[in-house]
Amino acid sequence: MRIYLGYFFYFILFSISSSAQRNITYSGLLLEKANNYTGQNFKGSVKTVYLKAYAINKSLTNSERSDFMMNNDVRGHKYVRFDNHGRIEETLGATFGESYIIDINKKKSRQYKYDESDWNEKSKQEIKLKQYYPISNHNLLIKVNKIEIPKDTVIIGDKIWEEYSEDVYKYIYNKNGQILEEQEYIFYRVAPVIESKIPVSDDLFTRKLFFYNDSNQVVNQKIVGGHLSQKMAYTDMGTQSNF
């Protein structure tokens, strides 16, 4: 009888533990500070990062060095600055070199800002997928809209034109709050006056469709090219492809 009761209570505890694990949810946001997609893996209050390469083989040609870094996933900006939410605020250089860049040339760096209402809304979304570095899980995560701050004044004729660039991500959810579709828009305008900053169908780059099994796990994903994909290739995990 004691053995039977022991197994019974063990079964109850195991069931409760398994049920609790199934109900655990995590932030659905792609965290730029710690994701293989952005090439960053930082935790805590890291604000600024400077990178440089050590012990470079001098006998390698520039092409061989570039191939080695790409094939071994050795990448990163010379300089990266994050905001308090871990979002990238500023970067400099596509790849790092043999010395640190301490004095940042703001004319050459790329700076970004974010739509806070978009951030707040998407921050509410939770998923059952726990993020592990360096797993490439970015296609399953929610991205926030990202606005690039223009550096140069566009002058055409004798008039100053407005310039606006934003990566926009829109989502369609099912009744359970799971992503059914991600729509990625690459919005860029230069005009005397930009009357609307809302992307249209011509700005649509990709649509990602999510398919789930009976356990609410993503089992398949279909990536479909939008109108803009006719003008630029789709790149993922170091591979380019045309739709």
Average the pLDDT over 229-240 and give the result. 82
Closest CA to 53 of 13, 98, 104: 98
What pLDDT, on a 0 to 100 scale, did the predictor assign at position 107? 79
Query: Rounded to whole angstroms, how far apart are CA atoms 227 and 185?
Result: 10
Nearest to 147 by CA among 169, 121, 123: 169
Residue 158: the pLDDT is 85
The structure tokens listed for 115 are 């739509």
Closest CA to 222 of 189, 180, 188: 180
Residue 4 pLDDT more than 70?
no
| Cα dihedral 7→11→17→19 (10° resolution) | 180
CB-based contact 109:92 (threshold 8 Å):
yes
What phi and psi values does residue 201 have, to the nearest 5 degrees?
-60, -30
* Topology of the domain covering 150-243: Lipocalin (2.40.128)
Q: What is the pLDDT of residues 131-157, one digit of tens each?
A: 887 778 899 999 999 999 988 788 888
pTM over 0.85? The answer is: no
Residue, of 31 and 187, whose pLDDT is higher = 187
Report residue 212 as tokens: 């789930």
- Model confidence at 191: pLDDT above 70: yes
pLDDT confidence bin for 17, thresholds 50/70/90: very low
Q: Which residues face 110 on adjacent strands?
A: 91
Note the pLDDT tens digit of each residue in 198-224. 999 999 999 999 999 988 888 999 999
Per-domain boundaries in the chain: 28-113, 150-243
Q: Are strands 110-114 and 79-82 parallel, antiparallel or unpaired?
A: unpaired
**Which whole number is the average pLDDT over 28-36?**
87
Question: DSSP class of residue 95?
Answer: B
Bridge-based pairing of strands 88-92 and 110-114 is: antiparallel
pLDDT, position 18: 40
Q: In the chain, helix, strand, coil percent, each to 5?
A: 20, 35, 45
pLDDT at residue 167 greater than cutoff 80: yes
pLDDT tens digit sequence for 67-122: 666 666 556 678 889 999 999 999 987 666 666 666 677 778 899 999 999 999 99
One DSSP character per residue, 14-25 reads HHHHHHHHHT--
- Quick one: average pLDDT of 56-63? 75
> In this predicted model, which residue has the larger pLDDT, 203 or 20?
203
